[in-house]
Structure 1
Amino acid sequence: MNVIAGLPAHALLVHAIVVLAPLTALLGILCAVWPAARRRFVWLVLVLSAVNLALTPLTASAGQWLYDRSSAHSPALETHAERGATMIYLSIALLAMAIVLALHHVRSANSDAPRTASAVVVAVIALAVGVSAIAGVMRIGHSGTEAKWGIITE
């Protein structure tokens, strides 16, 4: 899938990643620190992280197709390609975080005993993965913007 309706698929798919990854990260952090949010959104976080993981290799493949078709590989494009290759690891981490959240939710729902230690561990994991994913998407996107449009100073 390299072209969608005549447009490069990468240009379209990347917008899904730019929305899904940070949204999943923020909802994951929210679920980790607020039990009421976890009860409502934990399964949504799991689904969003799975969709994000499924779209990541498609987006990277479409980006590689564009890269291979380009005759001039600028340093900015090289940087974007290198950073873009790391998105799969961030997407895997988001799915792992969502699974940990779901397991924590199920364990907490099936027990009356407070799970303070596990709640703290889950919150730290969610915060670390969430912030890393958001920062990664921003770095990848910024390098892609520089590669396509150059540095905009205004």
Structure 2
Amino acid sequence: MSTVDGLPAHILLVHFIVVLAPLTAILAIVCSLWPAARRRLVWLVAVLAVVTLVMTPITTDAGEWLEKRVERSAAVHKHTELGDTMLYYSIALVVAAAALVFLHLRERRQAGAPTLLKAGVAVVSIVAGIASIVGVYLIGDSGATATWGDQDYSVVGPSGEDG
């Protein structure tokens, strides 16, 4: 996929990742620490993790298409390199979701799970979740820098005047 209604597909698809990955990460962390949330949200976390995993290579492929059509720069190269790491974060979220599903099913079948298993799932979920959120931030920041440069827009008021 290259364009959607004249816009590069990457700039549309990237919003799926920007929303889904942090949302999945936060829900996975919550589910790993709060059993009531796990009982209600575990399947949602699993679906979101899989959707994020599916959308990641589609988005990066669209980004590689776009990269060939924009001016080459160090910022674009950095964004491309960081963007390629998103697949690892998406895989980590799927692993965390699978661990949560395993824990959930174990708790339902055996009326509980060992504390060590709960702690292990929590560690995996927290590490994968935080890494994914940081990764999305770094990738997005590098994409914004590649697109708009290092300009500081925070000093411009709503009317366009310095503020």
Q: Same fold (TM over 0.5)?
A: yes
Cα distance in 1 for residues equivalent to 2:32 and 2:85: 25
Letter of the 1:78 partner, please give it.
H
1:140 aligns with 2:139: yes
Deviation at 1:135, TM superposition (A): 0.2
Give 1:104's aligned residue. 103
- Secondary structure of 1:32's aligned partner: helix
Cα distance in 2 for residues equivalent to 1:113 and 1:14: 39
Mapped contact 2:32–2:100 kept (Cα < 8 A): yes
Deviation at 1:30, TM superposition (A): 0.3
Letter of the 1:124 partner, please give it.
V
Give 2:42's aligned residue. 42
Mapped contact 2:103–2:113 kept (Cα < 8 A): no
Cα distance in 2 for residues equivalent to 1:23 and 1:6: 29
The runs of 5 or more residues in structure 1 that have no matched partner are: none
Cα distance in 1 for residues equivalent to 2:48 and 2:21: 8
Give 1:11's aligned residue. 11
Give 1:124's aligned residue. 123
Mapped contact 1:108–1:115 kept (Cα < 8 A): no
Cα distance in 1 for residues equivalent to 2:39 and 2:110: 14
Deviation at 1:112, TM superposition (A): 2.5
Q: How many residues are aligned here?
A: 153
Give 1:66's aligned residue. 66
Displacement over 6 Å in runs of 4+: none
The runs of 5 or more residues in structure 2 that have no matched partner are: 155-163
Mapped contact 2:13–2:59 kept (Cα < 8 A): yes
Deviation at 1:58, TM superposition (A): 0.5
- Secondary structure of 1:138's aligned partner: helix
Cα distance in 1 for residues equivalent to 2:103 and 2:25: 17
Mapped contact 1:29–1:123 kept (Cα < 8 A): yes
Give 1:33's aligned residue. 33
User: Equivalent pairs: percent with the same residue?
Assistant: 50
Deviation at 1:152, TM superposition (A): 2.6
The two structures, once aligned, show a CA RMSD in angstroms of 0.9
- Secondary structure of 1:125's aligned partner: helix
- Secondary structure of 1:151's aligned partner: coil
The 3 A distance-change label for structure 1 pair 6 and 117 is: same
Give 1:22's aligned residue. 22
Letter of the 1:128 partner, please give it.
V
CA deviations 1:97-129 (Å, max 9, x no partner) are: 101100110001111244211101110110000
1:93 aligns with 2:92: yes
